[in-house]
């Protein structure tokens, strides 16, 4: 079977990789560079508690399944590519500003009092009452992951065509036959749109870009990164230790602003202030970076994973805040679906929005 995937982010690359392993011939087109959209801009959190509180049961199940797949997926990608992806099962601490908030957290899982929280993160601000300890949370170096996925996919025999925007999917007798790009037509038996925030540009796929700005802080000599991921006061802090370089990532805003990824000094300062309200010593850390990315959001906030009306066009988009977390599960699910080996999960059925391609 010949498959063309539109979008070389972590979703498209990992779906392509699984399809290659199953014997398919795969080409991935990307409008820019592989793994340089949300895959690059993310913080790499596998935040199965912090992000999925109150989520639809189907999404929680998918996220828990993905979280369980992650250790094996990370080592498989590392082995295939030779690139370490920095998977760390660090746990996450969701801070409670006061005793009432801490009490409310008890229903969600084990909580730590102020002393317990400080034992994990010694530099926490005074006055924090403690927090929810989510031991299953992890993080991965999403930029290394993008690099590793690209190498693993190409080594497995996948074709990659960067700087090539898909203009239209052409259909004949009700089935898609090729993707038209400015230079070339790419013919295939099946097509997967995994273009993140850009997934809606090819047809009536209801995906809205949601901008997130982030900053990175670099520690002064001798300062340690916090061990766990930390959430509180409207920000999250993710330690990133790249061997030589240590950074603390601070995120992230949520703004519907089309495809605008401009940076705001006010947002930068707010993120920094939020981080310092949790760990005052961060005042001494140096601002090392500031960037923005676009999350793909569907109208109900759930992913779109499945075929659209023509039957051989599939969508894998709408991961919103959880694209890195969900990647291993979505890769297997979508590869199996394209190969006709598994059924759609009704909550993620793209047909709920009746997408069309004209």
d(C-alpha 325, C-alpha 99), whole Å = 31
Shortest Å distance, C-beta 251 to ligand GLY = 5
DSSP-assigned letters across all residues of 8-45: -SHHHHHHHHHHHHTT-EEEEE-SSSTT-SHHHHS--E
Shortest Å distance, C-beta 10 to ligand GLY = 13
> Could you say whether residue 51 binds ligand GLY (CB under 6 A)?
yes
> Could you say whether residue 78 binds ligand GLY (CB under 6 A)?
no
Task: Yes or no: say if 58 and 347 are a contact pair by the CB < 8 Å rule.
Answer: yes
> Could you say whether residue 43 binds ligand GLY (CB under 6 A)?
yes
Encoded one letter per residue, x for contact with ligand GLY by CB under 6 A and - for no contact, window 194-213 reads ------------------x-
User: Which residue, 6 or 43, is less far from ligand GLY as judged by CB?
Assistant: 43
d(C-alpha 323, C-alpha 119), whole Å = 31
Encoded one letter per residue, x for contact with ligand GLY by CB under 6 A and - for no contact, window 104-143 reads ----------------------------------------
DSSP-assigned letters across all residues of 132-147: EEETT-EE--HHHHHH
Q: Which of 163, 161, 169 is nearest to 199 (CA)?
A: 169
Encoded one letter per residue, x for contact with ligand GLY by CB under 6 A and - for no contact, window 279-318 reads ----------------x-----------------------
d(C-alpha 129, C-alpha 303), whole Å = 35
Binding ligand GLY (rule: CB under 6 A), the pick from 5, 19, 26, 45 is 45
d(C-alpha 105, C-alpha 89), whole Å = 21
User: Which residue, 164 or 298, is less far from ligand GLY as judged by CB?
Assistant: 298
User: Which residue, 30 or 137, is less far from ligand GLY as judged by CB?
Assistant: 137
User: Which residue, 219 or 251, is less far from ligand GLY as judged by CB?
Assistant: 251
Q: Which of 39, 68, 230 is nearest to 142 (CA)?
A: 39
> Could you say whether residue 148 binds ligand GLY (CB under 6 A)?
no
Encoded one letter per residue, x for contact with ligand GLY by CB under 6 A and - for no contact, window 153-192 reads ----------------------------------------
User: Which residue, 34 or 251, is less far from ligand GLY as judged by CB?
Assistant: 251
Residues 224-283 that bind ligand GLY (CB under 6 A): 251-252
Element (H, E) at 69: helix 57-81
User: Which residue, 51 or 78, is less far from ligand GLY as judged by CB?
Assistant: 51
Tokens 């870009």 found at: 209
Binding ligand GLY (rule: CB under 6 A), the pick from 303, 321, 334, 338 is 321
d(C-alpha 86, C-alpha 104), whole Å = 33
Three-state secondary-structure class, residue 5? strand
Q: Which stretch binds ligand GLY (CB under 6 A): 39-47, 123-131, 298-306, 332-340?
A: 39-47
DSSP-assigned letters across all residues of 250-293: EE---B-BTB-----HHHHHHHHHHHHHH-GGGGGSEEEEEEEE
DSSP annotation of 135 reads: T
Strands 92-96 and 130-134: antiparallel
Question: Which residue of this chain has its Cβ atom nearest to ligand GLY in the complex?
Answer: 321
Shortest Å distance, C-beta 52 to ligand GLY = 10
DSSP annotation of 72 reads: H
Neighbours of 31 (CB within 10 A): 18
d(C-alpha 72, C-alpha 60), whole Å = 20
Q: Which stretch binds ligand GLY (CB under 6 A): 41-49, 131-139, 296-304, 350-358?
A: 41-49
Shortest Å distance, C-beta 156 to ligand GLY = 28
User: Which residue, 85 or 252, is less far from ligand GLY as judged by CB?
Assistant: 252
Residues at the interface with ligand GLY (CB under 6 A): 43, 45, 47, 51, 212, 251-252, 295, 321
């Amino acid at each position: 079977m010949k498959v063309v995937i539109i979008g070389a982010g972590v979703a498209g690359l990992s779906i392509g990789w699984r399809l290659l392993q199953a014997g398919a011939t795969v080409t991935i087109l990307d409008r820019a560079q592989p793994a340089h959209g949300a895959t690059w801009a993310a913080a790499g959190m596998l935040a199965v508690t912090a992000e999925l509180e109150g989520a639809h049961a189907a999404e929680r199940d998918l996220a828990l399944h993905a979280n369980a797949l992650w250790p094996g997926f990370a080592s498989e990608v590392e082995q295939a590519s030779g690139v370490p992806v920095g998977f760390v099962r660090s746990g996450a601490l969701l801070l409670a500003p006061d005793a009432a908030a801490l009490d409310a957290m008890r229903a969600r899982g084990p909580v730590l009092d102020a002393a317990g929280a400080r034992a994990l993160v010694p530099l926490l601000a005074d006055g924090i009452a403690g927090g929810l300890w989510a031991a299953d949370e992890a993080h991965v170096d999403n930029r290394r992951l993008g690099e590793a996925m690209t190498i693993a996919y190409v080594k497995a025999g996948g074709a990659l065509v960067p700087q090539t925007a898909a203009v239209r999917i052409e259909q004949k007798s009700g089935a898609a036959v090729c993707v038209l790009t400015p230079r070339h037509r790419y013919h295939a038996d099946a097509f997967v749109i995994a273009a993140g925030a850009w997934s809606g540009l090819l047809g009536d796929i209801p995906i809205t870009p949601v901008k997130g700005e982030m900053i990175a802080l670099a520690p002064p000599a001798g300062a340690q990164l916090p061990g766990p991921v930390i959430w509180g006061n409207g920000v999250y802090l993710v330690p990133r230790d790249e061997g030589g370089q240590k950074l603390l990532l601070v995120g992230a805003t949520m703004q519907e602003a089309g495809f605008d990824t401009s940076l705001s000094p006010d947002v930068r300062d707010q993120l920094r202030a939020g981080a310092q309200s949790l760990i005052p010593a961060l005042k001494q850390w140096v601002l090392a970076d500031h960037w923005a990315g676009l999350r793909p959001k569907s109208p109900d906030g759930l992913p779109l994973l499945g075929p659209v009306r023509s039957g051989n066009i599939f969508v894998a988009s709408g991961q919103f805040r959880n694209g890195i977390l969900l990647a291993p599960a979505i890769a297997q699910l979508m590869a199996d679906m394209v190969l006709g080996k598994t059924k759609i999960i009704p909550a993620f059925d793209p047909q709920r929005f009746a997408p069309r391609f004209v």
